[in-house]
């Protein structure tokens, strides 16, 4: 009598499906070269950062305005949208907010505007200003240093450094930046183009249905 070994049924490994959201600079350059009218490049940095350097043909709409006008944008942007910032962090936050309205075909430019320029993409250069990420590092580092130095005279001043550390930790955990929003309200980071309606009116209109 021959015994046949029984083998346990194989379990299929579950692999969650995900739609890639990041695109590299050469891909975006190819999209724009093939059909620039089919792609909207939306820069979510502050107007000052946009003025310093931006991708040719891109539109500026700061991150906080995207959160306030996400529904209006969803009705207006019916084409491929590439979200851009300095490093990709704010652009991904914008993607999440727009995706919450049901928008699809959203892409985040990896490495941001600097990476696009380094890859040979066409950019417009303007008056140089510090990026928001650099301003946040300066403000946070300066406040921590001030708190530590002041604590030599007033010991409770060290709480300032502790508060900044807690704020940065919370920002990392929630993927937000309160300090960046506060710095964005400073005159240095603003320009006459910060009116929300004016910025929205600059965006391309939706393609009419046939």
Can you give the CATH number for the domain in which 81 is found?
3.40.250.10
- Predicted local distance difference test score (pLDDT) of residue 20: 62
Distances 59 to 44, 149, 176 between C-alpha atoms, Å: 9, 43, 22
**The predicted structure's pLDDT at residue 78:** 84
Q: Are 161 and 197 in the same domain?
A: no
Instruction: Tell me whether residue 184 is in a domain.
Output: no
DSSP β-ladder status, 39-43 and 22-23: unpaired
CA distance 149 to 157: 8
151 and 118, same structural domain? no
Q: Are residues 120 and 70 in the same domain?
A: yes
Shared domain for 59 and 124, answered yes or no, is yes
Tokens of 127: 């008056």
pLDDT of residue 18: 39
Q: What is the pairing mode between strands 39-43 and 59-60?
A: parallel
Q: Give residue 162's domain range.
A: 132-176
pTM for the structure as a whole: 0.69
- pLDDT for residue 14: 27
Please tell me whether residues 106 and 143 are part of one structural domain.
Answer: no
Can you tell me the distance from the alpha carbon of 80 to that of 68, in angstroms, rounded to the nearest whole number? 21
pLDDT of res. 115: 96
Q: Is there a domain that residue 83 lies in? A: yes
Q: What is the pLDDT of residue 112?
A: 95
Nearest to 134 by CA among 188, 180, 91: 180
CB within 8 Å of 97: residues ≥ 6 apart: 66, 67, 70
Res 199: pLDDT? 78
Residuewise pLDDT in 10s, the chain (210 residues): 444 444 443 333 322 333 468 999 999 999 999 999 999 999 999 888 898 899 999 999 988 888 888 888 888 888 899 999 988 989 999 999 999 999 989 999 999 999 999 999 999 998 777 666 666 777 778 777 777 877 778 778 777 777 777 776 766 666 566 766 676 666 666 655 556 777 788 888 766 555
Residues belonging to the chain? 210
CA distance 98 to 68: 10
Looking at residue 188, its pLDDT comes to 67
């Amino acid at each position: 009598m021959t015994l046949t070994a029984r083998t346990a049924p194989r379990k299929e490994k579950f692999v969650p499906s995900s739609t890639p959201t990041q695109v590299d600079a050469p891909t975006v350059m190819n999209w724009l070269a093939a059909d620039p009218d089919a792609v909207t490049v939306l820069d979510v940095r502050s107007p000052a950062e946009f003025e310093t350097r931006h991708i040719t043909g891109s539109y500026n709409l700061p991150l906080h305005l995207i959160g306030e006008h996400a529904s209006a944008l969803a009705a207006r942007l019916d084409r491929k949208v590439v979200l851009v910032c300095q490093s990709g962090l704010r652009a991904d936050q914008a993607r999440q907010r727009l995706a919450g309205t049901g928008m699809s075909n959203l892409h985040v430019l990896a490495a941001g505007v600097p990476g696009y320029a380094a890859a040979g993409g066409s950019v417009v250069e303007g008056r140089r200003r510090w990026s928001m990420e650099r301003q946040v590092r300066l403000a946070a580092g300066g406040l921590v240093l001030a708190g530590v130095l002041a604590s030599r005279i007033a010991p409770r001043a060290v709480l300032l450094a502790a508060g900044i550390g807690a704020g940065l930790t919370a920002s990392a955990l929630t993927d937000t930046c309160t300090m960046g929003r506060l710095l964005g309200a400073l005159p240095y980071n603003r320009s006459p183009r910060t009116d929300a309606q004016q910025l929205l009116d600059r965006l391309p209109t939706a393609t009419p249905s046939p």
